[in-house]
Structure 1
Amino acid sequence: MRLFAGTAPRLVPPHAVPDGALEHLLAATPVSSVFVAENVGRYRAAGSRRAAPVVGITSGGRGLPGRRTEAVKLHGACWVGTNVVPVSLDDDGIRLVADHLLVTRTPRSSFFGPQREVLGVWDSLKDRWPQPFAVRDDQPLLVFEGNGEVTPHPEVRYAEPAEIAEVLPASAAMFQEEVGYSPYVEGDNGYVRRVSRLIQDRRTFVVMRDGRVVFKADVGAAAGEVCQIQGVWVAPAFRGQGLAAPCMAAVVERVQQRWPTVSLYVNSYNLPALRTYRRVGFRQAGTFATVLF
């Protein structure tokens, strides 16, 4: 890091992200930043000495000799854990994050988030980074606005902790269909913990028939008044029977009791899912992209 930074934007490590500024930045884009906001909150609630793995894009703070020091300003940020998730990166921020990833060379599972930032970072890296498993470059980000066309399904309910053995196969099937490989490829402990935690936190919804999950959806991320639904799945034998839309309507109805703003994102080529979500009352509020490794 340069001794005299002047006004030029620079990347700062997690411990140097200005206090309070990160929360303000996340609050400016609460729907697209919900994953980062929840995970930053988890770090702080745990009282960890380590800062959350979020780098910041700042300017100011160190004046040139003989000039008054400017206040530090946080212009953007990026979660740099197993996943890379940009928050409000401009062109300078995209370049600085890409440079940071190249220097650290730590393997990542995915880049995801706002389309312009994700594809900008990936474009800066792709000639010097391992090839991805898939690039999903057009994923409508949807927010529930109401006025849906369907009646909520009465059988949708929270999954119970004792039903982990029934929920796990449905969750794994959804993951493999969506991502293209098994969630157990690196062992099952982490994935089982993730599914168990969602159930324990009353963030998994199911419809069960004869002891089998026929519909499932999760609240994958939540912070403040915003949540993001993920892991929506209908058992193959029950597809095409009009189950998805009323089940999703029921999920939204329950979820809004805790988080008034309900969002999700979906691949643009998944036309049946897009039709379902629009019938329920979701409307596009932005566009995401995902790069999977």
Structure 2
Amino acid sequence: MLTTTTTRVLEPGDLGAALAVLDRDPVANAFVAARVQVAGLDPWRLGGEMWGWYADGRLESLCYAGANLVPICAGPEAVRGFADRARRAGRRCSSIVGPSEPVARLWSLLEPSWGPAREVRGHQPLMVTTTVPEDVRPDPLVRRIRKDEIDLVMPACVAMFTEEVGVSPLAGDGGLLYQARVAELVGTGRSFARIENGRVIFKAEIGAATPKACQIQGVWVDPEFRGRGLSETGMSAILHHALHEIAPVASLYVNDYNTAARAAYRRVGFQETGAFMSVLF
């Protein structure tokens, strides 16, 4: 029996079906789900197109095509459909990111025309927790960043991004989009830091948030203060906010070679449940 498949750009009327696909894995899909729940499927509000892969008229898989290219619940056939569309459109994204298996397949199909990548991070453990740590005291000095403190926290955000990604977020458009994203997280109360004498010592954000899961990002400790356990006590404080105020599950993904961070996250209760992969351009 032959299966009829097709790939197309989703429209606002497809929102219910798209949310049903995203809901199959609310933890891994938190980044895209959070955007869709706020912006719907209008490309201008969403910041990119949402591609849908259909089998016998049923929406089975998605691919967010914006600043990032993110395959969602995508098996091999869906990945081929998304790769065909991506090749025709040309590369517009700064990265491909998502669960490691579909991203690896997608990159193998796109690399001949899109390559080479600046960097490929093939295994980034996805870590998840549903409990606040009992044996790691939350840092009492970690608090929400106020709107009038954006200029104070911005250098730490830039330092974290540059260290993590390998390029400055201020390149290209002068940092306008990045500054807007930082301001958005501060404005929604999802940016946290420990500040001493006007200096950011530790910071992190709850970058994506849905009623079912949230994703922690941008964890950073001032290099001068590393090795003192501030990432653990800071993360403990973040988890109290995340799990009590936002969602019952908190996740993050981390580079596999960052053994110190992985150990710190395990000490506050995170467990590795899967893996992401990132292709950076």
What's the TM-score once normalised by structure 1's chain length? 0.89
Deviations 1:105-158 (A, max 9, x none): 142111101000111100111111132111111001011143733111111100
Tell me the residue number matched to 1:119: 104
Q: Is 1:183 matched with 2:169?
A: yes
Asked if 1:242 is matched to 2:229, the reply is yes
Shift of 1:51: 10
Does residue 25 (structure 1) correspond to residue 21 (structure 2)? The answer is yes
1:68 — aligned with what?
none
- Over aligned residue pairs, what C-alpha RMSD do you find? 2.0
Structure 2 matches for 1:8-23, cutoff 5 A? Answer: 8-15=4-11, 18-23=14-19
Query: Which residue pairs with 1:3 in the alignment?
Result: none
Please tell me whether the aligned partners of residues 142 and 234 of structure 2 are also in contact (alpha carbons under 8 angstroms): yes
Aligned to 2:141: 155
- For residues 162-218 of structure 1, what are the alpha-carbon distances to aligned partners after superposition, in whole Å with 9 as ceiling and x for unaligned? 111110000000000000011101112211111111111101000001100000001
Q: Which runs of 5+ in 1 are unaligned?
A: 1-5, 61-71
Q: Flag the structure with higher helix content.
A: 2
Larger CA Rg, structure 1 vs 2: 1
Letter in 2 for 1:184: L
- Report the residue type matching 1:195 in the other structure: V
Change (3 A) 1:150 1:7: same
Distance change (3 Å), C-alpha of 1:21 and 1:129: same
Corresponding position of 1:105:
90
Distance 2:67 2:219 in 1: 22
**Residue segments in structure 2 that go unaligned for 5+ positions in a row:** none
Amino acid at match of 2:143: R
CA contact (8 A) 1:14 1:52 kept: no
Answer whether contact 1:94 1:117 (CA < 8 A) is retained.
yes
User: What residue number does 1:66 align with?
Assistant: none
Match of 1:39 in 2: 35
In the aligned structure 2, how far is the partner of 1:209 from the partner of 1:152?
17
Quote the Cα distance in structure 2 between the aligned partners of 1:75 and 1:47.
20
Q: TM-score, length-normalised on structure 2?
A: 0.93
* Aligned residue pair count: 277
Q: Partner amino acid for 1:231?
A: G
Write the distance in 2 (CA, Å) between the matches of 1:223 and 1:119.
Answer: 27
1:93 equivalent in structure 2: 78
Partners of 1:146 and 1:16 lie apart in 2 by: 36
Matches of 1:51 and 1:156 in 2, distance apart? 31
